[in-house]
Amino acid sequence: MSQKTGAQIIWECLLKEQVETVFGYPGGAILPAYDALTQYRIRHVLVRHEQGAAHMADGYARASGKVGVALATSGPGATNLVTGIATAMMDSSPVVCITGQVPGPVIGRDAFQECDVTGITLPITKHNYLVTRAQHIAPTIKEAFHLARSGRPGPVLVDITKDAQQESADFDWDDIEVRLPGARPASGVLPDELQQAVELINAAQKPLILAGQGVIQSGSTEGLLQFVDKTSIPVSCTLLGLGGFPASHPLNLGMMGMHGESWVNHAIQQADLLLAFGMRFDDRVTGNPATYATAAKKIHVDIDRAEINKNVQVDLGIVGDLRDTLLQLNEAVDECSHRQWNADIEEMKGDSAVRDIQTLPDNGRLYAAHVINDIWNLTDGKAMVVTDVGQHQMWEAQYYKHEFPRQLITSGGLGTMGFALPAAIGARMACPEGEIWVVCGDGGFQMTACELSTCAQEELDINVAIINNGYLGMVRQWQEFFYEKRYSATPLRNPDFCLLAQAHGLQTLQARTRSQARESIAKARRTQGTVVVDFRVEQEDSVYPMVPAGNCLHDMIRRPLEENPLVETAQSRW
């Protein structure tokens, strides 16, 4: 046992948790920890805004499956983390945030940069802590990492007072036990639940699998493949579930929900059994829950018992690890072909191919879907893609075919604009090898564009595709569909993104036609370092299909057959 300062104990703990990289921004209340950092071999990435630190830790966690770590000082430093913490909470991302706090004796006296960050983050963390003594730092951090990664993953915040960082205490990591008296770990599938599930699966004529992010987080891709190969049950994916089941598999139907494939939503509505694996029936997936898959029995497998019957009442809820559950199901279910059901779904595709913008001839204008499709083609579908939130996010989900887990990193539940660039930095730190593309809109990019400086300082190899349509695109689309084209506060007067990136010392490209887009993608891939590509796309294109919020899942707005978007859309202003 040795004596160390609280600040040293922080870094000792992170080393014990095998943390190699942290993302943060120094300040007064966390200065002792930053001073102690000089004694430790942990890579610190200096962000330009603490929100970026939280997103980077999140991106690191999503790309690697490990716990991401963010640091900030008290007051505004801590509150700047909040959006990133909420994003991680909604998408079950394992993140530990460590914040400095004013010295214990002045807490509650409105000291400089004092803020009750544990109170603020209480609803958006799995748990949070205020630590006022050095001797409590190590057991708290050990518990925080355990909580972040166990069960349903999520963010944990540890707020440590400055005097606790400065005082000394004994440090003996091996003697610390994680004890959570109130914890209720998932029991796994019970024998009667397994029997009931097998009977429902064997009896179903029109079954469908809904694959969520839980497939990826539990490492269940292989088990799901075996299950599908045995039962021939088709699979649809949530946005965060994309990549959990190979897009090239003949029984992968594509994405479900608000901007999912039309045949997927119709199949869900006609199914007689839904197998919900690691998904949570959120409103973007179900539409109006009162009319959602009313003919279907429903089996829901989730690690979090709170999700069972929360949004949709199910016939059988199994609380447990999905990988273990699939192992048992694979041994117990009957082989089946479901030939007629899969043929019926094939017929549901109907005229979808005709409505697909990809089938229309090149008229010289550039469409976002073309850009995404070209990135997919030119990267052979092997890149990791980190998206922001908006139209481009849905086009990415539709036109980049995700083959493997953790290939798509995106903000699902909170829908956080500004997520993509910092999350990609975190992903790059987690995965030094391989190709990473940021796909973001011109609106969201500007929310965290300051992190271009971080890209330059860290000399990161990232390609940034700005889908620039001069609008807050998804909001504009809603205004077009539901507010009679009153484009209130959605047109954007943007800076010159190339000049902006060049000011950071980064390389840039610009494309206004499809041929230029292909050339730019190819050139960006050949170029070392961060490359920002400004794709000037058609301004008033819309994402189809679309289920209006609160409508039935099968009540979709489709791209009109008579519409020829290559001549119909508004005159380009570029």
Question: What is the set of active-site residues?
Answer: 50, 112-113, 162, 474
Beta bridge partners of 161: 101
Comparing CA positions, the residue from 141, 146, 136, 129 lying closest to residue 170 is: 136
Determine if residue 233 is left, alpha or beta; phi over 0 gives left, psi from -120 to 50 gives alpha, anything else beta: beta
Work out the burial of residue 179: count CB atoms within 10 Å of its CB; fewer than 13 is exposed, 13-18 middle, 19 or more buried: exposed
Contacts of 99 (CB under 8 A, 6+ apart): 29, 30, 71, 72, 73, 74, 77, 78, 81, 117, 157, 158, 159, 160
Query: Any alpha helices (H) in 415-547, and if so which ranges?
Result: 420-430, 442-447, 452-458, 473-482, 497-503, 514-526
Q: Give dist(CA 5, CA 345) in Å, integer.
A: 64
Contact 36, 100 (CB under 8 A): no
Beta bridge partner(s), residue 156: 96, 127
In angstroms, the CA 394 to CA 360 distance is 19
Q: Is the dihedral of CA 469, 471, 474, 477 positive or negative?
A: negative
Closest listed residue to residue 208, CA positions, set 253, 274, 304? 274
Measured from the Cβ of residue 380, the count of other Cβ atoms closer than 10 Å reads 9
436-441 and 507-511: which strand pairing? unpaired
* Pair 501, 460: CB distance under 8 Å: no
Q: Which residue has the tokens 């791209």?
A: 559
Q: Are strands 531-536 and 507-511 parallel, antiparallel or unpaired?
A: parallel
Task: Give the C-alpha separation, 408 to 400, whole Å.
Answer: 9
How many residues are given for the chain? 574
Radius of gyration of the chain (CA): 25
Sequence-ordered strand ranges (E) for 278-357 = 297-302, 316-319
Residue 520, CA distances (Å) to 263, 412, 453, 535, 541 in order: 34, 29, 22, 9, 22
